[in-house]
Structure 1
Amino acid sequence: MPVSDSALMEPKSLSAETAADARLEIKNLNVYFGEGSERFQAVKNVSVSVQQGGSFGIVGESGSGKSTVLRAVCGLVESWDGEIDIDGAPVSHKRNKAFARKIQMVFQDPYASLHPRHTVDRVLSEPLKLHGFDGIDGRVLRALDDVGLGADFRFRYPHQLSGGQRQRVAVARALMLEPEILLLDEPTSALDVSVQAEILNLFAELRKEHNLTYVMVTHDLAVVAHMCDEIAVMQFGEVVEVMDVDAMRNSTPKTAYTQELLKASMGYDAEFFGDS
């Protein structure tokens, strides 16, 4: 059964209605690395729109540019052009504290993203101190509870935690400033299969509890089928297709590349894409 016209959108075309309701909108984003003759364009004219409370997935194989898009949004990449809007307001290249209160990012490797000599308490409390929050002790304890860890974990070091526990701490850190948008860069790919579902379910619960908007990068279509409402498929730095996840479950994608991704995905089975 072919995908309906309403389920598929042209990657570079955004309707006025969609744009008006967008919490995060990326327009014609280009990202570059290197200088002079070695200058390389990693992202080419990417445009996507993410609605308030939505969960948007960006998928593609390694090197497709999907993680670079997130890094440009959160300010970790300096050489970019195009437009990044939050609630209709353009984001400048230089980010401020207000931006950090709006958007936070959870990285792929929870061990690498946590300072090995900092306790969980310090990891969680430092952003609060930097931004002038009060009631720090209570906020730290609530954050640990939100991610399924108790007060017993507060003064542990990263090496004393399992991979899943470290990622829960990383998620708690991202929530400390009460952001409205979370950027999730392959948040379960470094974890054992046995704990991946736990972390994905945690993200789903936190999205409802805190009314969060997600942009998730992954190479695994089973993950976006579980987590996301809509996906953009990237290849060679470009968005080749944007489609509704329900259409992905039940229909044939428009592009041959997306069809190949479906076949290659570990989750390409009845549980995720067939009849339930």
Structure 2
Amino acid sequence: MLNVENLDVWFGHDPDRVAAVTSAAFSVAPGESFGLVGESGSGKSTILRAIAGLIDSWSGRIEVAGKPVAGSRRDRAFYKTVQMVFQDPYASLHPRHSVDAVLSETLRLQGMGDIDRRITRLLDDVGLGRGFRFRYPHQLSGGQRQRVAIARALAAEPRLLLLDEPTSALDVSVQAEILNLLADLRAEHGLTYVMVSHDLAVIGHMCERLAVMQQGRILEIMSADALRRGAGDDPYTRRLIAASAGYSRA
């Protein structure tokens, strides 16, 4: 579903150019959930944004469903295949647009018909129901906003979801609900996930494999089972696991 080879991402221009990602390479099979972990500034979210077309200063090769993408230009067919869920549900929804407006606009942009039925189904899929359809973001909790953001991503009927810290801005009590929702949606719709998180327990729960990043480089790719055992080939990986507060190796 996703193949990334020799990916470099940078910001600025010479002589002040800053390398954000260097020689990243990984692949994700259809239906797999793949994680990117590492400390803040390691380049995890930058990789997602380059894939999504939100950054144009990159080189290398990105293929989605066997089709190469270039620069920051993405056509409608790309966004029918790939959608992104952002970290902050408070910032990713327009404060003056109702849930109905958010979902209607997305469906129209994707050329979808039968919008009324599709909105009802999307709200049901994310556990909100039609009673939330005409509410505004300020009338929703953080978890409810993130459910709307997930519904918006699902509106295009994508095959690949890019999840950028989808629960880190939420209360701890709500995080598990959203993670369980994402797991259920993946099983129900046959989705492929690439998930960024600083929380190793989340990645261990949600993903089959993961890449460990430091200073813009992928140090190693390992299984979630190895993560749960506290194993890692690279010394940084072992230190990261040991330093993860609240992480259990059970």
**Which residue of the partner structure matches residue 88 of structure 1?**
66
**Code of the aligned partner of 1:96:** D
**Which residue of the partner structure matches residue 82 of structure 2?**
103
- Partner SS for 1:58: strand
**2:172 pairs with one of 193, 204, 221:** 193
The 8 Å contact of residues 220 and 267 in structure 1, kept in 2 or not, is answered as no
The 8 Å contact of residues 221 and 267 in structure 1, kept in 2 or not, is answered as no
Does 2:116 align with 1:137?
yes
Cα distance in 2 between the residues matched to 1:141 and 1:266: 40
**2:15 pairs with one of 37, 48, 72:** 37
**Which residue of the partner structure matches residue 73 of structure 1?**
51
**2:226 pairs with one of 247, 260, 266:** 247
Cα distance in 1 between the residues matched to 2:157 and 2:193: 14
The 8 Å contact of residues 124 and 140 in structure 1, kept in 2 or not, is answered as yes
Alignment of 1:22-61 (within 5 A): 23-61=1-39
With normalisation by structure 2, the TM-score equals: 0.98
**Which residue of the partner structure matches residue 211 of structure 1?**
190
| Post-superposition offset of 1:37 | 1.4
Q: Over residues 88-112 of structure 1, what are the superposed CA-to-partner deviations in whole Å (9 max), with x where a residue is unaligned?
A: 2211221111101000000000010
- Partner SS for 2:239: helix
| Post-superposition offset of 1:140 | 0.5
- Partner SS for 1:111: helix
Q: 1:113 to 1:229 in 2, by over 3 A?
A: same
Q: Percent identity?
A: 63
Count of residue pairs brought into register by the alignment: 249
Cα distance in 2 between the residues matched to 1:265 and 1:142: 39
**2:158 pairs with one of 179, 202, 206:** 179
Cα distance in 1 between the residues matched to 2:191 and 2:110: 20
With normalisation by structure 1, the TM-score equals: 0.89
Structure 1 residue runs without a partner (length 5+): 1-22
Cα distance in 1 between the residues matched to 2:231 and 2:2: 28
| Post-superposition offset of 1:132 | 1.7
Structure 2 residue runs without a partner (length 5+): none
Q: Over residues 163-217 of structure 1, what are the superposed CA-to-partner deviations in whole Å (9 max), with x where a residue is unaligned?
A: 0000000000000000000000000000000000000000000000000000000
Deviates more, 1:244-253 or 1:140-149: 244-253
The 8 Å contact of residues 222 and 266 in structure 1, kept in 2 or not, is answered as no
**Which residue of the partner structure matches residue 158 of structure 1?**
137
Cα distance in 1 between the residues matched to 2:126 and 2:65: 27
Cα distance in 2 between the residues matched to 1:267 and 1:212: 29
Runs of 4+ aligned residues of structure 1 deviating over 2 Å after TM superposition are none
**Which residue of the partner structure matches residue 128 of structure 2?**
149
| Post-superposition offset of 1:264 | 2.0
- Partner SS for 1:84: strand
